Amino acid sequence: MVSLTASFSVIDSHTAGHPTRVILSGIPKLSGTSVLERRNDFKSRLDRLRPALLHEPRGHAAMVGLIPTHSDVADYGAFFISSYVYLDMCGHGAIGFAKTLAFTGQISPETGDSFTLETPAGVVTVGLVWGENGALKAVKIRNVPSYVGLENLTIEVDGIGTVKADIVYGGMWYALVDAASLGLNLDPDFASTLMLKGSAIKQAIKQTIAATPLFAGSAAPSVLFYTADSASEAKHFLVLESNKFDRSPCGTGTSARLTYLLHKGILNPGDTYRARNIFGIPFEARLSETTRVGDRDAVVVEIEGNAFVTSSQTIFFEANDPLSKGFLSR
């Protein structure tokens, strides 16, 4: 006889290779009047569930979780959890959530071609492209406003040398780094090297900007390596930690990259930016509108991609399991 202490119903999907685990049941009731407040309540009281549900032996370092919750201001509410940090906004995760809603029948061609989603970063609009057979063909996330935070940052990184980066907000902060300038090849065979170098750059940037008020209270910028094929197309490799990279081109990172290209006049407002991951799978990004965030010029970017369901399962926790808290191997 098996003695269980908890169970969670989940649906897993991948968006251009990066996973989203939507946790449908098992989360205790959260307090707060907004998604941000309920996320913060989860963080303060229930953070133990994050590694338990995402890390080995039930997940892995790259797993991203999404917890649906009620919203008073949007059609749906959700917040994102990951191995190391809480994500205010996650483009690939929002696309995965739309796919999960379609898979469970909560949305369909009959319910319309869009819905609103409240995230900790704000409300985004999720556009839906339906096929003739009623299947969800593509998802278009109208992201929160993106803006340039810090240009032409130059740092010295041990073992790498001089690194130049531009730090841009796209729902999270990203340090945009030209991989070719460092002689780096954005290829699956070099993923381990890229993670190690990207992590070193991330730590150096974190120390350099620690006293900058603009970044106070935010997670350190992750390093988005890019190799440009042209002004409107590039390959992306986003380093999150020394043992974790984004398998997708990164939705919010793609927003940041397009924002910078528009800011510098390299792309025009009507242009489409195509970001590929190391497996050749693209996200497409377009300018939706211009706006302001405080005293900064900002843009709203639409990111288009697709997700695919990989499993529907119940995660169990058995009494006396010595690894019920989860673990990470770095």
pLDDT at 1: 76
Residue 131, CA distances (Å) to 113, 115, 138 in order = 11, 17, 9
pLDDT of 141 reads 97
Closest CA to 90 of 52, 130, 139, 150: 139
Does pLDDT of 208 surpass 90? yes
Residue in the structure block whose two tokens are 């949007």: 74
Mean pLDDT along residues 101-115: 97
Contact 164, 178 (CB under 8 A): yes
Q: What is the pLDDT of residue 329?
A: 86
Out of 78, 81, 90, 238, the active site residue is 90
DSSP-H helix ranges across the chain: 35-45, 49-54, 91-103, 191-208, 251-263
Instruction: Tell whether the model's pLDDT for residue 202 goes beyond 80.
Output: yes
Mean pLDDT for the stretch of residues 209-232: 95
- pTM (predicted TM-score): 0.95
CA distances from 108 to 112, 304, 325 (A): 7, 18, 37
Task: Write the CA distances from 139 to 113, 127, 307, integer angstroms.
Answer: 10, 6, 8
Active site residue 90: yes
Enter the DSSP assignment of 314: E
Choose the catalytic residue: 250, 267, 299, 300. 250
Confidence band for 2, pLDDT divided at 50, 70 and 90: confident
Model pLDDT, residue 330: 80
Query: Average of pLDDT values for 29-36?
Result: 97
Q: What domains sit in the chain, N to C, each tagged with a CATH number?
A: 4-142+309-318 (3.10.310.10), 147-304 (3.10.310.10)
Is residue 291 annotated as a catalytic residue, yes or no?
A: no
Cβ atoms of 126 and 115 within 8 Å: the answer is yes
